[in-house]
């Protein structure tokens, strides 16, 4: 099968891979780049476990053709730490018990980061809306919403 060369920025670093036609971004990231932080949950855009940021906006990697990110910037959970220091959202998720099995967490965090990057002090409703495409089957959504709100107010306090 003919393969296509593909270059993009992945968490701030340039990567180059060869993909089969029709390969989605989730498969490209996990199998070819080796970044296992985006998760497979449905392959149909229904669960949000594969949420990544493309040029700062939240996208579902399972529904994104890999070739469409040529020359763009892709950010995953693997890239949001600052060296050894956790991102404020990661700290807030830990403090607010916003994960149980942890499988939806990478997607939740990326959806939340997309929100906070655009809107530093969202309302509760805006948080609910931002994670409405992400399914959690264990903890319920309340601790997650509280964690995102806490991360937002924490950021404001530091500013």
Partner 1 sequence: MLELRKDIFADERDDNLKEIGKGTQRQDMLGHVTGASTYFNDHKLQGMLHLKVLRSPHAHARIRRIDTAEAERSPGVRRIIRGADVPHNLNTLLSLINFGKDDEPTLAVDKVRYKGEPVIAVVADSPREAFEALAKVRIDYEPLPAVFDVEEALKAGAPVVNETYPKNTFTYYDVYDHQKLRFGDVERGFASADHVLEQRYQMSPIEHAPTETNGSIAAPDTNGRYVVYTSTQALFFSVDTCAKILDVPSNTFHFIGGTVGGGFGGKVDTLTEPLAILGAMLTGRPVRYIFEREEEMQYGPPRGAERIYLKDGVMRDGRIVARKVRAYFDSGAYTRLSSYAAVKCAAHLPGPYTIPNVYGDIYCVFTNRTPATAMRGFGVTAMDFAIECQMDKLAHLVGMDPMEFRILNAYRDGDMKAHRREAKNTALIECVQVAAEKAKWPLREEFKRMSSLKGGGGTRAAVPPTARDQPVPVRPAAQQRTTYDRAPQAAGPQPPHPPTPPPVAPAPAPQPAAHGAIRFSSVFGSRRR
Count of alpha carbons within 13 angstroms of residue 11, beta-carbon side: 16
Per-residue binder mask for partner 1 (CB under 8 A), 117-146, x = binder: ------------------xxxx--------
Does residue 76 interact with partner 1 by CB under 8 A? yes
**Which strands sit side by side in the sheet containing 3-10, from one edge to the other?**
13-20, 3-10, 73-75, 51-54, 57-60
Q: How many residues bind partner 1 (CB under 8 A)?
A: 35
Residue in 19, 41, 75, 116 binding partner 1, rule: CB under 8 A:
41
Please count the residues of the chain: 159
SS3 for 78? helix
What is the three-class DSSP state of 61? helix
* 44 is a site residue for partner 1 (CB under 8 A): yes
- Binding window for partner 1 (CB under 8 A); candidates: 5-13, 41-49, 67-75, 119-127: 41-49
Integer CA distances (angstroms), 64 to 44, 123, 133, in order: 11, 29, 15
**Least CB distance from residue 91 to partner 1, whole Å?**
8
Where on the chain is the footprint of partner 1 (CB under 8 A)? 30-31, 34, 36-37, 39-44, 46-47, 49, 76-78, 81, 86, 90, 93-94, 97, 99, 101-106, 109, 135-138
């Amino acid at each position: 099968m003919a393969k296509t060369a593909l270059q993009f920025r992945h968490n701030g670093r340039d990567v180059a891979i060869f993909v089969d036609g029709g390969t989605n971004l989730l498969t490209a990231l996990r199998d070819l780049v080796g970044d296992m932080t985006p998760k497979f949950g449905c392959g149909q855009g229904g669960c949000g476990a594969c949420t990544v940021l493309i040029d700062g906006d939240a996208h579902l990697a399972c529904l994104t053709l890999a070739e469409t990110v040529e020359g763009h910037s892709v950010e995953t959970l693997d890239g949001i730490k600052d060296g050894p220091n956790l991102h404020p959202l990661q700290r807030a998720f830990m403090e607010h018990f916003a994960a149980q099995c942890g499988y939806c967490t990478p997607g939740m965090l990326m959806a939340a980061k997309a929100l906070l990057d655009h809107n530093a002090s969202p309302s509760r409703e805006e948080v609910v809306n931002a994670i409405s495409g992400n399914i959690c089957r264990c903890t319920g959504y309340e601790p997650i919403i509280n964690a995102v709100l806490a991360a937002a107010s924490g950021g404001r306090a530091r500013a």
